[in-house]
Amino acid sequence: MADNISSAAFSGDRNQGFQLAYNSGRVDVNYHTSRSAQEHKPRPCSTVPFRRDDDFVYRDTLDEIHARCAQPAARVALVGLGGSQLAIQYSYQVRDSLSDTWVFWVHASSKARIEEGYQRIAEATRLPERDNPKVDILQLVRAWLCDESNGRWVMIVDNADHSSVLSNLVGDILPESSNGSVLITSRSREAAFELVGEDEKILKVKPMSERYALALFRKKLKGEDNEGEVLELLRNLDYMPLAISQAAAYIRQQAPRVTVSKYLKDFRRSEKDRASLLNNAVRDRRRDGKASNSVLATWQISFDYIQTDQSSAARLLSLMSFFDRHGIPEELIMSQYKKDDNIMDFEEDIEVLRNYSLVALRIENNVFEMHCLVQFATRKWLEQRQELKR
């Protein structure tokens, strides 16, 4: 007589066993645990997608970031070009000194990129339901971040430039939690303010001093170049870290045919040659691979934002780019607004440009100033849009 064979299979988180009333044969039980039950609690790690910059030059701003982010439930924003590189360096310093702290990186240029960053957090922390397409990944991760039993964490929200993208997501991407702190990088002071809520929580990324700019250049390009020529090149690059790094990389890759002296000569020779050099984008693993890393493209992203959000401010920037950059008279650029009886519109447009660090005001003379590269990039942007012919 053949055996009577019964088989029972179970899956899920609540598998407790089974009951058997009567059986004269064999019972085989196949027990399958869920993935979440099999996984151990992970150790804190980092989701920062960029390598550490071994050539990074120390800046005082880093100390300020550490001090502010050490506060419970801290929210701090870095505004200006170069914020992302400071944030990367900060992330590695946190991991070096606080190995029990999670470090998360979220790129905030769009909702899709934000969700992508949160998915990486869910994978790193091994959250149950992370692969369920019906689950709201933002809410799933937010709940984990708010649970203090999960330990200390730091979140870096990079490129938070679009108020329109962030306005409906603030509660989701910036949870109020005493065991975590949030560091934001943004081109726009207005967007940063929406996320942190107070001016005191915003740190402006200042231009490098000549001393630090020279140190950065020497780290990026080892050699015996004439220091006077190097300093002159740095001045022409407005001491902008990205421009310095790209110039040094270009000279290094093109050596021995290209030297500091030749680069400087080409840079000054014509607008066409300068644009060619500033459009050169040397591959950098410490920058977002989904965006151009050239100096001109970096500035022009800001111009595009302004054109979309407040086109009158973009027109004002265009006008200002044709004045002497050291002394742009307020009276002259305000004249059209006065004619149309729109003085308040002028103040709003100027505020937009200042929020993006594109212009600065010299109060004593009532004149505005622009960095050399900002002025040049604006003209090239207009040329690209075929607006110079109008």
pLDDT of residue 149: 93
Asked if residue 3 lies in contact with residue 28, where contact means CB atoms within 8 angstroms, the answer is no
pLDDT of residue 335: 86
Measured CA to CA, the distance from residue 266 to residue 377 in angstroms comes to 17
What does the block give as tokens for 245? 């790094």
Q: How many helices (H) and strands (E) does the chain have?
A: 18, 10
- Please state the φ and ψ torsions of residue 147, each to the nearest 5 degrees: -85, 105
What does the block give as tokens for 193? 């303010």
pLDDT of residue 64: 95
Measured CA to CA, the distance from residue 21 to residue 4 in angstroms comes to 14
pLDDT of residue 18: 47
Sequence-distant (6+) residues with CB within 8 A of 23 are 4, 6
pLDDT of residue 290: 64
Sheet holding 102-107, edge to edge: 102-107, 153-158, 180-186, 75-79, 202-204
Alpha carbon dihedral 77, 81, 83, 86, in 10-degree steps, equals -150
Measured CA to CA, the distance from residue 286 to residue 87 in angstroms comes to 11
Strands 153-158 and 328-329: unpaired
Per-residue pLDDT tens digits for 18-47: 454 445 555 555 544 445 444 678 999 999
Strands 360-362 and 367-369: antiparallel
Measured CA to CA, the distance from residue 337 to residue 339 in angstroms comes to 5
Measured CA to CA, the distance from residue 264 to residue 267 in angstroms comes to 5
What amino acid occupies position 133? P
What is the chain's pLDDT, residue by residue, as a tens digit (390 residues)? 444 444 455 455 445 554 544 455 555 555 444 454 446 789 999 999 999 988 999 888 999 999 999 998 999 999 998 899 999 999 999 999 999 999 999 999 888 999 999 999 999 999 999 989 889 999 999 999 999 999 999 999 999 998 777 776 777 677 888 999 999 999 999 999 989 989 999 999 988 899 999 999 999 998 767 899 999 999 999 999 999 999 999 999 998 899 999 999 999 999 999 999 998 876 666 666 566 678 899 899 899 989 998 999 999 999 999 999 989 999 889 987 877 778 899 999 999 999 998 999 887 678 999 999 999 999 999 998 877 655
pLDDT of residue 375: 94
Instruction: Indicate if the alpha-carbon torsion angle 140, 145, 146, 149 is positive or negative.
Output: positive
Q: Measure Cα distances from 164 to 69, 305, 356 in Å.
A: 26, 11, 16
pLDDT of residue 26: 57
What does the block give as tokens for 112? 């899709």
Half-sphere exposure of 156 (CA within 13 A, CB side): 26
